[in-house]
């Protein structure tokens, strides 16, 4: 009724091996789950949120990316500038390629900062040009973020992937904006 047990074992081993190859390849080249540690992206991304990265997307301005920092830790930040972009900050107003940019994801942090007596979230900096092969990134919680203001430009090859979807906790599940 069951046939040859050796053949059955070999067929199951093939299925398990093929499944393992698919899982490893998917994680290595397409998607990766990541747990977020730290408060630099609050309230957009909160401490201990679990997110899914996509490794095949084209990174654009204002995407959220996870990258390997020079100290070997993975950080999540918002891409403000892509290669060739001109960026400046004046009186908490971001300028991208000479144009003012609205940053609605900063509203809660700005309100909180003013309640704590801070005048600005982000110190002014003169116009810079993002070099080829690099990104300029900032955390949404600008008063509590180690980002390009400290680290400098982030190399494209340091980017692990783009944060696309939050899978935990249950109250935050959904597409990341």
Mean pLDDT calculated for residue range 12-22:
84
Only one residue has tokens 């960026």, namely: 87
Domains plus CATH for the chain? 32-175 (2.10.109.10)
DSSP 99: E
For residue 125, give every residue at least 6 positions away whose Cβ sits within 8 Å of its Cβ, in sequence order, or none.
88, 89, 149
Tokens of 48: 């201990």
Active site residues: 40, 77
pLDDT tens sequence across 62-106: 999 999 998 888 899 999 999 999 999 999 999 999 999 999 999
Strands 134-138 and 154-155: antiparallel
Instruction: Give the per-residue pLDDT at 107.
Output: 92
Question: How sure is the predictor about 57, in pLDDT bands with cuts at 50, 70 and 90?
Answer: confident
Is 127 in contact with 69 (CB distance < 8 Å)? no
- Residue 59 confidence (pLDDT) above 90: yes
| Residue with more model confidence, 73 or 130 | 130
Q: Count Cα atoms within 13 angstroms, Cβ side, for 80.
A: 32
Is 89 in contact with 78 (CB distance < 8 Å)? no
What global pTM score does this model have? 0.83
Closest CA to 86 of 68, 59, 61: 61
- Residue 1 confidence (pLDDT) above 60: no
Closest CA to 128 of 92, 78, 101, 94: 94
Average predicted confidence (pLDDT) for the chain: 90
Question: How sure is the predictor about 28, in pLDDT bands with cuts at 50, 70 and 90?
Answer: low
Beta-carbon neighbour count of residue 147 at 10 Å?
Answer: 23
């Amino acid at each position: 009724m069951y046939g040859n047990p050796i053949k059955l074992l070999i067929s199951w081993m093939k299925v398990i091996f093929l499944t393992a190859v698919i899982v490893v390849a998917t994680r290595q080249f397409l998607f990766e789950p990541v747990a977020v540690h730290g408060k630099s992206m609050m309230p957009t991304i909160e401490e201990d949120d679990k997110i899914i990265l996509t490794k095949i997307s084209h990174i654009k301005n204002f995407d959220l990316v996870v990258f390997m920092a020079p100290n070997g830790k993975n950080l999540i930040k918002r891409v403000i500038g892509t290669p060739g972009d001109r960026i400046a900050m004046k009186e908490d107003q971001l300028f991208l390629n000479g144009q003012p940019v609205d940053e609605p994801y900063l509203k809660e942090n700005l309100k909180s900062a003013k309640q704590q007596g801070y005048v600005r979230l982000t110190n002014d900096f003169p116009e810079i040009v993002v070099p080829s092969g690099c990104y300029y990134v900032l955390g949404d919680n600008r008063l509590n973020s180690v980002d390009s203001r400290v680290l400098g430009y982030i190399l494209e090859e340091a980017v692990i992937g783009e944060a696309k979807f939050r899978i935990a906790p249950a109250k935050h599940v959904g597409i990341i904006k």
